[in-house]
Amino acid sequence: MLTNTAPGSCISMSLSNSLSGAGFRSKSEGESSGLMEFKEIGSDRKEAIMAGISKKILCNRSFLSIVLSLLLFAGCFTPLCHGDGKGDMNWGVSFLFGPNSRGHLDFIHSAVLPRAGFGLHKKWDLEFEGNLSHYFIDGEKDLYLVGVNGNLLFKPVRWGKVIPFLIGGAGLAYNNNSGFVWEIGDSHTAGLLQGGGGILYDTGKGWWFRGEYRFHHISDPFEKDHGLNTHSFILGVAF
């Protein structure tokens, strides 16, 4: 038996089916596009993280390469110093004081620098220097460092009892920074670079007076930051 269906009901059923199908497709398409956007955001985040890790590894390798190069350079001269009888040890201690060289951060840098060194070859000396530093920062928490520096001294001439010299070196230090001094990052590790010149004065009794100027820089060795720069004036003795 055939059932007569009203034209209006057919039209309404067809319209509802069309609307439901369209709604289903739009919902599916919306979910698909949202999923793709989520994947794209996740991919960008992963790429940013990987780029940051790669940059940090590259910085680590660069810094370690510099340190190893300096050690190898010093090691090349070590046999020469024993062969020429220039390897006598000398000891000393110096006191550093200096203001910041630039930047908006107002501070005074002071330090005690005990050291031990020996002659490398002819006009070159190598010394290892302790670094006990205090940065008195105006309006901020004070910064403290404990570390070790390696320095090369070049003594071109001697004028009677006076020996002028040039000095350059690098080192590492542990500090109490936890982000309050943003100029050196937020880690507890500081890299140090310094260079300058000075004089040694022979007292004739096995003691030498030592005075020098150094441009002193510290910063995070593994991240890019402004760092802290100091005009350092240093007085000490050697024996």
Q: What is the pLDDT of residue 57?
A: 47
Q: What is the pLDDT of residue 131?
A: 98
Q: What is the pLDDT of residue 209?
A: 98
**Of 129, 145, 144, nearest in space to 93 by CA:** 129
pTM, 2 dp: 0.64
DSSP string, 132-155: EEEEEETTS--EEEEEEEEEEEE-
Q: What is the pLDDT of residue 18?
A: 44
Q: What is the pLDDT of residue 141?
A: 81
Task: Give residue for tokens 């991919």.
Answer: 43
Q: What is the pLDDT of residues 91-128, one digit of tens each?
A: 999 999 999 977 678 899 999 999 999 999 889 999 99
> pLDDT at residue 12 above 70?
no
Q: What is the pLDDT of residue 181?
A: 73
Q: What is the pLDDT of residue 82?
A: 35
Q: Is the model more confident about 67 or about 203?
A: 203
As a whole number, mean pLDDT of residues 205-211 equals 94
Q: What is the pLDDT of residue 51?
A: 57
Buried (b) or exposed (e) across 154-184, using 16+ Cβ within 10 A?
Answer: ebeeeeeeebebebbbbbbbebebeeebebb
Domains of the chain (ranges, CATH numbers):
89-238 (2.40.160.20)
Q: What is the pLDDT of residue 86?
A: 56
Q: What is the pLDDT of residue 46?
A: 55
Average pLDDT of the chain to the nearest whole number: 75
> pLDDT at residue 6 above 50?
no
Q: What percent of the chain has pLDDT over 90?
A: 46
Q: What is the pLDDT of residue 47?
A: 62
**Token couple for 104:** 């908006």
Please give the span between the terminal C-alpha atoms of the chain, in angstroms, as a whole number.
123
**Token couple for 109:** 């840098």
Q: What is the pLDDT of residue 235?
A: 98
Q: What is the pLDDT of residue 134?
A: 96
Q: What is the pLDDT of residues 214-227, one digit of tens each?
A: 999 999 888 777 88
Q: What is the pLDDT of residues 31-65, one digit of tens each?
A: 445 445 544 545 556 565 555 555 544 454 445 44
List, in sequence order, every residue forming a beta bridge with 170; answer none if it has no partner: 150, 193
> pLDDT at residue 84 above 90?
no
What is the distance between the alpha carbons of residues 214 and 113, in angstroms, rounded to a whole number?
Answer: 13
**List of E strands, the chain:** 89-99, 107-121, 124-137, 143-154, 162-175, 189-202, 208-219, 228-238
> pLDDT at residue 25 above 50?
no
Q: Are 148 and 166 in contact (CB under 8 A)?
A: no
Q: Which residues contact 30 (CB under 8 A, 6 or more apart)?
A: none
